[in-house]
Amino acid sequence: MNDYERMAEMLLQSHYAVALTGAGISVESGIPDFRSENGLWAKYDPMEYGDIESFRSNPAKVWKMLLEMDTLLSRALPNPGHVALAQLEQQGILKAVVTQNVDSLHQKAGSVQVIEFHGHNRTLRCEECRRRIARENVFLDKIPPLCSCGSPLRPEFVFFGEEIPLEAYQQAMAAAQHCDLMLVVGTSATVAPASYLPRTAKRRGAAVVEVNPKVTQLSHDTSDLHLAEPAGKALPAVMAALEALRAERRKKSK
Ligand code: APR
């Protein structure tokens, strides 16, 4: 049995599988991750560009990075990794995707139960008057974009130094506590509290499967299986193995 078949078997045996995804699952959609060699934080210091206090003190500077992200996100399309997770939900196996990504690619791939742990890119809001505006109604010809009240608009991303949206936090924690299988796809598992989720699942008796070309902090003490490949390759192969397993069982039951 190869790792694809092992993962397929675990999925078929599971009663409540959830996924935790990070920037790695969107790399094959053309969006760089944060901490790989050519990641976003190699170009922009996260404490200067990813922190809420930096945004408040110099929105124009942070919007330089946000504009670059916005261009990448607007062009990105779901890749086979996103599609495979949506198929697992449609097959009734995957109950939710908790994502750290803000690119809306899980929803574009067809996933419905998506818990956005770090916010999303579909609206912007005003720090002062809290007004929310759909992204397509905001023009970024001048940065920072301003609210009608005159204050800078900001994306609905969770910056460093900000709280995780309460509902997303509660839903994600509940998923981690109730699941019997957690797929951890494309995350370095270095940013809390998202990084607590696989450990919480494991402590509660769930199996943890990691899909990541690299070894992470989870690989040594939390993951029961590690597919060390890009998600866009590994997940479709697991879907094919799942189909083959079902066909084999149908044949046996005749
Ligand atoms: N398939 C699967 N995994 C991949 C792929 C791929 N094609 N390409 C890269 N990876 C892996 C990398 O090996 C790395 O372990 O994805 C992981 C991406 O890690 P990070 O860049 O740290 O991104 P992430 O874990 O999502 O960061 C968490 O940090 O900066 C904050 O808010 C930001 O949500 C982000 C959070």
**Rounded to whole angstroms, how far apart are CA atoms 228 and 216?**
10
Let me know whether 11 and 23 are in one domain: yes
Catalytic residue from among 106, 118, 120, 226:
118
Mean pLDDT along residues 99-116:
98
Let me know whether 108 and 213 are in one domain: yes
Condensed to tens digits (0 to 9), the pLDDT of residues 134-193 reads 999 999 999 999 999 999 999 999 999 999 999 999 999 999 999 999 999 999 999 999
Q: Report the CATH number that the domain containing residue 141 is assigned in CATH.
A: 3.30.1600.10
Mean pLDDT along residues 202-219:
98
Establish whether 118 is a catalytic residue: yes
Question: How many domains are there within the chain?
Answer: 2
Query: Which is nearest to 191 in space by CA: 221, 162, 234, 171?
Result: 162
Let me know whether 114 and 128 are in one domain: no
Let me know whether 89 and 179 are in one domain: yes
The last residue of one of the domains, among 157, 185, 212, is: 157
Let me know whether 16 and 140 are in one domain: no
Protein residues whose CB sits closer than 6 Å to any atom of ligand 1: 22-25, 27-28, 33-36, 39, 46, 50, 100, 118, 186-188, 190-191, 211-214, 216, 230-232
Cα(110) to centroid of ligand 1, in Å?
Answer: 21
Average pLDDT, rounded, for the chain: 97
Phi, psi of 202, deg, nearest 5 = -60, -45
Q: Which amino acid is at 175?
A: A
pLDDT of residue 203: 98
- Return the ligand 1 atom nearest residue 102 CA: 34
**Rounded to whole angstroms, how far apart are CA atoms 202 and 224?**
9
Cα(34) to centroid of ligand 1, in Å?
Answer: 6
**Rounded to whole angstroms, how far apart are CA atoms 97 and 245?**
24
pTM for the complete prediction?
A: 0.97
Let me know whether 142 and 240 are in one domain: no
pLDDT of residue 254: 85
Residue 209 has pLDDT above 90, yes or no: yes
Let me know whether 17 and 104 are in one domain: yes
The last residue of one of the domains, among 104, 136, 157, is: 157
Let me know whether 24 and 87 are in one domain: yes
Let me know whether 219 and 146 are in one domain: no
pLDDT of residue 114: 98
pLDDT of residue 129: 96
Q: Report the CATH number that the domain containing residue 203 is assigned in CATH.
A: 3.40.50.1220
Nearest CA owner, ligand 1 atom 28: 191
Range of the domain at 49: 33-75+121-157
Let me know whether 237 and 169 are in one domain: yes
- Return the ligand 1 atom nearest residue 41 CA: 30
Condensed to tens digits (0 to 9), the pLDDT of residues 35-93 reads 999 899 999 999 999 999 999 999 999 999 999 999 999 999 999 999 999 999 999 99
The last residue of one of the domains, among 130, 157, 184, is: 157
Let me know whether 102 and 226 are in one domain: yes
Let me know whether 87 and 129 are in one domain: no
Mean pLDDT along residues 192-202:
97
